[in-house]
Each structure stands twice: as C-alpha cells, then as structure tokens.
C-alpha cells in the first residue's frame, strides 16, 4: 500500500509546484490592498468569505511545515538541521535586503539620495530585518504615496 510518506520522498512530489502556486496566490491577493488600500475587497473574498491570500498562506505553511519537519527528521543532529535552515534562508534574505536598500530604495525614494543614505532607517534596515525579530518595513521616502505607506518587503514577517 502506498502511503503519503512514499510520495514525500525525493523531489517527484509536486510540493514545490504547490508552494509556488500558493506563494503566487498570496502575491496576487496582496496586490489588492497594496494598490487599492486596506479596505479593498478581493474576488475570492466575495465568493467564499476568505481571501485568496488566506487560503494560500494556509496551504503554503502546511506544506512548508511538513517539509521542514521532514528535513528535521532526516538530519543527524539539531546543529546540522539548524545549519541547513540558516543556509537556506539567510543568503537569499541578505541579498534581498541589500538590493532593497541599495537599488530599490534609491530608485523609489522621494528624498535626495544623500539624505536617503544618511537616514537612520536606511542604516538600520538590513541589520533589523536580518534579526527577524525587530522587523523594519519602511525606508525613508519610499512608497510614501502608496495605500500602505512604506510597506516594502511586507512579507518578512513570515520568516520568523
């Protein structure tokens, strides 16, 4: 008899595809309030009373939790599992944060570049967000006219 665990072995299980689709659904769902304001009603919300983002976050976290638990179960020690998690999350996080501060921030800020780079929020953006515990979403002068003022990289909360 084939069990669920049999399908979880290896990479031939479509978990990555399902997680990609769920993450895409969250992006689509977040586009409504980000572009139209926090009171925006989303299409799926009208039909079933839940946003597409809510449904997709539940799917994404369930599958991710399963895969993280599988990784833990396969690790020989807690240190090797923790090292694997750190190496999976932090290199990409650091790249995203640095690109945000050095590329997107200067491109999108309404402030003069010298003022942007000398602002305390610019200086603390990378270290605070690497901590995952003291998240900082806004950058000085960035997205000040958006419905969610300054909410750049708003999904960082999910990493903690």
- SS3 readout for 76-120: CCHHHHHHHHHHHHHHHHHHHHHHHHHHHHHHHCCCCHHHHHHCH
Length reported for the chain: 160
Quick one: pLDDT at residue 8? 65
Q: Does residue 11 or residue 145 have the better pLDDT?
A: 145
Q: Is the pTM of this model over 0.85?
A: no
Q: Tell me the average pLDDT across 80-101.
A: 94
Mean pLDDT, rounded, of the chain: 87
Quick one: pLDDT at residue 99? 96
- Of 143, 147, 142, which Cα lies nearest the Cα of 113? 142
């Amino acid at each position: 008899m084939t069990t669920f665990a049999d399908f979880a072995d290896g990479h031939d299980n479509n978990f990555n595809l399902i997680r990609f689709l769920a993450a895409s659904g969250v992006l689509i769902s977040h586009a409504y309030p980000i572009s139209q304001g926090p009171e925006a009603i989303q299409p799926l919300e009208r039909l079933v009373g839940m946003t597409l983002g809510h449904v997709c976050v539940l799917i994404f976290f369930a599958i991710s939790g399963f895969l993280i638990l599988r990784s833990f179960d396969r690790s020989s020690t807690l240190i090797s599992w923790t090292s694997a998690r750190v190496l999976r999350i932090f290199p990409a996080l650091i790249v995203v944060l640095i690109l945000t501060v050095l590329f997107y921030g200067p491109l999108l800020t309404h402030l003069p570049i010298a003022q942007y780079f000398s602002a305390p929020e610019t200086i603390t953006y990378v270290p605070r967000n690497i901590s995952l515990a003291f998240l900082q979403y806004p950058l000085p002068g960035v997205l000040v006219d958006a419905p969610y003022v300054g909410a750049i990289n708003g999904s960082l909360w999910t990493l903690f």
